[in-house]
């Protein structure tokens, strides 16, 4: 049974007694009070900003059952488990249950034995579900991951288009739509498609100051990734995003060979394998998930210490959504990407060959242009991301371009040499080639392909020896990103555009970013979960003795979570363990004052935690 008192409680009392937090963050209190009073709301908060409390607390304060529309069936169980751990009565209805289990859950909701009920969006459209909701006293409707309603978005779900029925059929029940990722355009779509014109909109800062954004030149991507994990995140949980299923499996296998506990996740795997891998990632410490973007939305795991991209995301919205899964607990985390010429060529080709009309392709192109602008930025990365979402910001001091400002150089002459080569191939030979052949010509290399096509006879042959190959690849990459070069849709050849000619005529200068190139060290095949694991990034600010206590607490948590068959963070998140390790509580009163230790968790784990602290 729920440990909370009767419904005559205030939001702040629920926050403190049930969830164990002293004060609301940002707009949380305003949103909660508005919804408790019966108002609709559109809530934009960054991942880890506390969106879930904006509907959980109103559901606990208002009479009835809060109904949550959640797009991921696989995560409902863990969401319900986490609520149960703090004394909230929650359940779900989805296709993984037998008809008898569904019937029991429905009856529990009707009998007032549930505070929150999770449903998949496709279920809401069923007549049977709507009849059930007619009989249920619903306190609030929460539409999580509301950006899924956007048909132009990266996570579009057709079933979300039918959720306007909530306001039409149950107009007296307050609705709150929540998302971590929405431009002004996407925000307007949410309002229009869900019928939320009268809703109050709450837009929190999109800034995640605990995340360090870094984008590095891609050399040997897998080696660079292993080096990142070895040197900065040994023993930490992380997510690695790849574009294709084949690259997911290849990367996961490569990490395992290096002694890193990694698992694959993509839509082509059997459902039972995906579910098992996701469960291990959520429930165990230090697992790295290698995945396509099919994985991640709704992930509640707060202690993901890094998110890495080995392929270029299609948009800043997608990038922000994916990187936002790092550091939900507010502790230091890393968003790392290896980015190279092949990524730009690949994404340009994907757009050129994509289905859809010209307007659709233009929209995809605009999204990619913004993403490439972030990658090529000379200024603060975080500033570029925040401005994309309409938020003014100054330099953050915590991204790679702030910590190590890049140098710029005038690349106009180099750009003209490259463009001249492309033009001469087209005009003199009626030919077009990829970047590799262009660079061979500029460097004066007599390769078999150069000889085959007699490209050594071109006037631009050998005129580019002042730059090395990696620098020339950066020139091609920059011009592609800037739209001064294009990629043909048939075989990926490089072609000129209307924006090429001002550069060739000297009417437009080209400033290039001097890439900081540091080759990844070849890591040795050692166990990443050995002694190095004690250097977890979560405990980086602790003293040596406190860090030792933190590791003891993590070990206790792992055993406790395993015995209860729940994710480790359901017992306590890393942030709470860090606070316990640094403050070393000696009594239940002192332990209860630590953020994240609510009444039920204090009762369940308090004595054991104090024993671990006392034995340190």
Range ranked top by mean pLDDT from 73-77, 537-541, 546-550: 546-550
Kindly write down the DSSP assignment for every residue of 304-327, as one continuous string.
Answer: EEEEEESS--S-HHHHHHHHTTS-
How much is the pLDDT for 515?
67
Question: β-pairing, 175-179 with 41-44?
Answer: parallel
pLDDT confidence bin for 197, thresholds 50/70/90: very high
pLDDT at 560 over 70: yes
DSSP-derived 3-state class of residue 214: strand
Per the structure block, which two tokens stand in for 609?
Answer: 């935690």
| Contact criterion met (CB below 8 Å) for 354 and 333 | no
For the stretch 16-37, pLDDT in tens is 999 999 899 889 999 999 999 9
Question: How would residue 406 be classed by pLDDT, with cut points 50, 70 and 90?
Answer: confident
320 pLDDT more than 70: yes
Q: For position 5, what pLDDT does the model report? A: 39
259 Rama sector, left if φ>0, alpha if ψ -120 to 50, beta otherwise: left
Confidence of residue 246 (pLDDT cuts 50, 70, 90): very high
Mean pLDDT for the chain overall: 88
Contact at 8 Å (CB) between 204 and 27? yes
pLDDT higher than threshold 70 for residue 492? yes
- For residues 275-280, give the mean pLDDT: 88
A 10 A CB-CB count for 317 gives: 26
The model's pLDDT over 120-142, given as tens digits with 9 standing for 90+, comes to 998 998 999 999 999 999 999 99
Altogether, the residues listed in the chain come to a count of 616
Closest-CA residue to 463 (of 417, 509, 422, 496): 417
> Given a cut of 70, is residue 532 above it in pLDDT?
no
For 139-143, 427-431, 579-583, which range has the lowest pLDDT when averaged over its residues? 427-431
Pick the closest to residue 267 from 309, 227, 305, 296 (CA basis).
296
Whether the predicted pLDDT of 119 surpasses 60: yes
Q: What is the pLDDT of residue 154?
A: 60
d(CA 554, CA 551): 5
Question: What is the pLDDT at residue 116?
Answer: 97
pLDDT at 285: 85
> Of 168-172, 375-379, 603-607, which gets the smallest average pLDDT?
375-379
pLDDT of residue 75: 74
**Per-residue confidence (pLDDT) for residue 206, from 0 to 100:** 86
Mean pLDDT highest for which of 144-158, 239-253, 314-328? Answer: 239-253
Average pLDDT in the 574-596 region?
93
pLDDT at 519: 37
Summarised one tens digit per residue, pLDDT across range 364-395 is 888 888 999 999 888 999 999 999 988 888 99
For residues 551-564, average pLDDT = 91
- According to the 3-state scheme, what is the secondary structure of 328-350? CCCCCEEEEEEECHHHHHHHHHH
3-state secondary structure 359-392: HHHHHHHHHHHHHHHHHCCCCCHHHHHHHHCCCC
Per-residue model confidence (pLDDT) at position 345: 86
Residue 298 near residue 143, CB atoms below 8 Å: no
Measured distance CA(246)–CA(238) in Å, rounded:
19
Residue 298, pLDDT score: 61
What is the band of 534 on the pLDDT scale with cuts at 50, 70, 90? very low
- CA 363, CA 360: separation in Å to the nearest integer? 5
Q: What is the mean pLDDT of residues 456-479?
A: 92
Residue 152 scores a pLDDT above 70: no
Distance, CA of 142 to CA of 79 (rounded, Å):
14
**Distance, CA of 47 to CA of 12 (rounded, Å):** 22
pLDDT of residue 24: 93
**Does position 3 have pLDDT exceeding 80, yes or no?**
no
The two three-digit tokens of residue 276, written as one number: 């098992």
For the chain, domains (ranges, CATH) are 11-203 (3.40.50.300), 211-406 (3.40.50.300), 408-514 (1.10.10.10), 541-614 (1.10.150.80)
Better-scored residue on pLDDT, 72 or 193: 193
Is pLDDT at 189 greater than 60 in this prediction?
Answer: yes
| Local confidence band at 195 (pLDDT 50, 70, 90 cut-offs) | very high
Query: What confidence score (pLDDT) does residue 349 get?
Result: 84
- Which pLDDT score, from 0 to 100, does residue 130 have? 95
Average pLDDT for 283-301: 83
Looking up tokens 């996701």, which residue turns up?
278
Helix (H) or strand (E) holding 514: strand 511-514
Given this model, what pLDDT does residue 443 score? 95
Range in 67-81, 159-173, 186-200, 589-603 with the lowest mean pLDDT: 67-81
What value does the mean pLDDT take over residues 435-458? 94
Q: Residue 513 pairs with which residues in a beta bridge? A: 408
Q: What is the pLDDT of residues 51-101, one digit of tens each?
A: 999 999 999 999 999 999 988 776 788 889 889 999 999 999 988 889 999
The whole-number pLDDT of residue 530 equals 36
């Amino acid at each position: 049974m729920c440990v909370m008192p009767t419904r005559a409680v205030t939001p702040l009392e629920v926050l403190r007694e049930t969830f164990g937090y002293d004060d609301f963050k940002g707009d949380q209190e305003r949103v909660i009070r508005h919804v408790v009073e019966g108002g609709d709301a559109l809530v934009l908060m960054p991942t880890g900003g506390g969106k879930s409390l904006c509907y959980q607390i109103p559901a606990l304060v208002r009479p009835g059952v809060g109904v949550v529309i959640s797009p991921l069936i696989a995560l409902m169980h863990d969401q319900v488990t986490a609520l149960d751990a703090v004394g909230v009565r929650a359940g779900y209805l989805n296709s993984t249950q037998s008809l008898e289990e569904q019937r029991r859950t429905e009856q529990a909701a009707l009998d007032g034995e549930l505070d929150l009920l999770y449903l998949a969006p496709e279920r809401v459209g069923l007549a049977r579900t709507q009849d059930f909701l007619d009989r249920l006293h619903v306190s609030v409707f929460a539409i999580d991951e509301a950006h899924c309603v956007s048909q132009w978005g990266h996570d579009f779900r057709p079933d979300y288009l039918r959720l306007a029925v909530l306001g039409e059929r149950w107009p007296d029940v307050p609705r709150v739509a929540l998302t971590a990722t929405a431009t002004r355009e996407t925000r307007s779509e949410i309002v229009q498609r869900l019928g939320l014109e009268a809703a109050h909109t709450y837009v929190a800062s999109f800034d995640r100051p605990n995340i360090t954004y870094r984008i590095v030149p891609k050399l040997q991507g897998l080696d660079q990734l292993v080096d990142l994990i070895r040197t900065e995140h040994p023993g930490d949980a992380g997510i690695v995003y790849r574009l294709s299923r084949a690259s997911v499996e290849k990367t996961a296998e490569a990490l395992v060979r290096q002694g890193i506990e990694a698992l694959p996740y993509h839509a082509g795997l059997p459902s039972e394998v995906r579910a098992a891998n996701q469960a291990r990632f959520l429930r165990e410490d230090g697992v790295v998930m290698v995945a396509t973007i099919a994985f991640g939305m709704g992930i509640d795991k707060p202690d993901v210490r890094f998110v890495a991209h080995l392929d270029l995301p299609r948009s800043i919205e997608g990038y922000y959504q994916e990187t936002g899964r790092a550091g939900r607990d507010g502790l230091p985390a890393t968003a790392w990407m290896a980015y190279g010429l092949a990524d730009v060529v690949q994404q340009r080709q994907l757009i050129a060959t994509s289905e859809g009309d010209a307007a659709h392709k233009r929209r995809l192109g605009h999204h990619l242009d913004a993403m490439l602008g972030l990658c090529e930025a000379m200024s603060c990365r975080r500033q570029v991301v925040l401005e994309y979402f309409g938020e003014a910001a100054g330099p953050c001091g915590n991204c790679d371009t702030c910590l190590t400002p890049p140098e710029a150089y005038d690349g106009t002459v180099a750009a003209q040499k490259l463009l001249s080569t492309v033009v001469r191939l087209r005009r003199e030979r009626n030919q077009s080639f990829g970047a590799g052949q262009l660079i061979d010509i500029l460097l004066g290399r007599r390769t078999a392909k150069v000889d085959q096509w007699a490209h050594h006879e071109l006037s631009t042959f050998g005129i580019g020896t002042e730059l090395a190959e990696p620098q020339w690849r950066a020139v091609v990459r920059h011009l592609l990103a800037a739209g001064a070069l294009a990629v043909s849709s048939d075989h990926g050849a490089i072609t000129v555009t209307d924006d090429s000619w001002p550069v060739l005529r000297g009417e437009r200068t080209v400033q290039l970013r001097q890439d900081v190139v540091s080759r990844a060290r070849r890591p040795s095949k050692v166990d990443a979960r050995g002694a190095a694991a004690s250097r977890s990034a979560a405990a980086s600010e602790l003293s040596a003795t406190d860090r030792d206590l933190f590791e003891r607490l993590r070990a206790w948590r792992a055993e406790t979570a395993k015995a209860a068959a729940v994710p480790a963070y359901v017992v306590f998140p890393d942030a709470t363990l860090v606070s316990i390790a640094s403050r070393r509580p000696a009594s239940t009163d002192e332990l209860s004052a630590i953020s994240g230790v609510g009444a039920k968790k204090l009762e369940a784990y308090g004595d054991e935690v104090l024993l671990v602290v006392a034995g340190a």
